[in-house]
Structure 1
């Protein structure tokens, strides 16, 4: 398929064609903003979005993240009706398994806050956790946290839905085009330079995921985002697999799994991983993964592995996103650094970026996610990260 022609002018250039960028382009164009142009250096969703595990949830420790997750869940629930795109949403719940007393206390506090914000999460005992997720071993568990409306869906389908809707709303989506510079005088943006030419524009939205630090540097804006490889595997068919198996997470090790067809999709944070743009799979983490499986879900070790892939988290120092507008430079907006949760927050973040561009109060107050928090003492880490 040939690339779209590069426009010479735009009112807004969105950099990054993952779910954050596509949702932003859709919501901007849908609000009547003319000449919205989105650029991606590859195929839409090919960066981090389509390498994600597909989890969608509102179980977080920070109120902003809870609100973004909750609002996005509603969008996923209505996605087929709103966009005509099936996304295979399975609201089987998220189940966090807890085996340390301090984590039980922390999650109890989280659940109180989540309930106050309308999330139907609850603490459950070990027996119920075992019934919900029969593949696990309950040995050593103290409790679990569960929310029935969380679940998972297919990132590729969400990308298709937003891309088609953005085009219908009038946005111009251009793939295979690399941004090489942002021309500005220190006060205002003049144009975005690409390997195919320049686009005159006075507004940029950076939604470039792990590549956002480089985009910010072009504009003289500090976006403290680093790429970190995360790997995912799939298994062969699991005999007798319960179709309602929740997205299950062993919080201590971060081992997670959910149903994927007749088998499972599984992964785990590798605490020995180092930052970098590493998109090749590595076997180095497999012994650590195997140990976590043997400890918490030994039945999985009896099933053969299928395929797998590597993707990138875009990680900030406090594992909270960067969302806002740069001061002093008119106008550079950013939505990045979601530390593995950009896909699930994408629908709501697109609405937020629309509102920030239009100068109105955002649907979710994201003032605490401004990148300037790292200049002072306003850092508050998100604790419910896997």
Structure 2
């Protein structure tokens, strides 16, 4: 007699839970729904013509059609070394690892750094994909509070002091943070705080994972230095991706990390996929080497900057005063906080009835809090749908708060 399948699952697999977001988003599949839920780039921001021009030459290169090295093709890693230098990050090709999207980097870093019950320091809220990736290793979380400028340094220091006092420092593996245009909160750490964070992590000997998928997408304000550029002790693992500045379907991302960690990462990646797709890596290398990237980023910024302003202006016009939100300087999201008695999971069906959708904010909290929050994406919907969707959402929020 065949065993029930659930008896064969590993302990890690049995701990997996159905995503609340995925279940709620099934309600948004109707074409008439205006969705602010996904984190999707806009197809209008894809460099289609440049890809058309690059692809024939790549097809003619048989190396691009063959297996590649696990570390990534040398042409792309070399181009990325030059690009990182423009951001004041000095590294060697050996420090650069190509991954199948940043999500793979998070997954493999979890595999090689975490044991069950190890401790992760991160922001509250934090990126849902990181929670999912690290979750397979069954870690614990120490959460750092944020304000309109992201990480509150005093709270970070207090958390570190407490970790050491209770003897948990041996289980503390890293501080995971998105310093620029945080997902979901949209906020950015200013330079002074970045330097203070680096000083604290140096003092307490804490590894940092700097996740930077949106750093190129600044629509106003001044660029802030990467934590990696302030790293004097080689303790920052830097992650970034082509998904927002080329196309997400290519699944190309990269990591800059200490050589010893890259070597261990390669061993783990070999067990996962042998190598990231070589064909798209060669396209990415040509995209960089031909100098397309900076020119195209300006086009992306024009499109997304306009969309962000439309969303913020519409929120100012249609949202109730009780809805609090920070105005980001870039990225892809606006983070909304409603009065404590409002549960964005419970009101979601009422919102979808009006053919509009968001992501419930509680999914971004490892401790299950944030029930009164939501994340709104402005990059994917059309300009017209942004205004109409915010109007619909604002009307529902007014009705709920009036009750």
What range describes the TM-score normalised by the shorter chain of this pair? under 0.3
Higher strand fraction: Structure 1 or Structure 2?
A: 1
The higher radius of gyration belongs to 2
Higher helix fraction: Structure 1 or Structure 2?
A: 2
- TM-score normalised to structure 2 length: 0.25
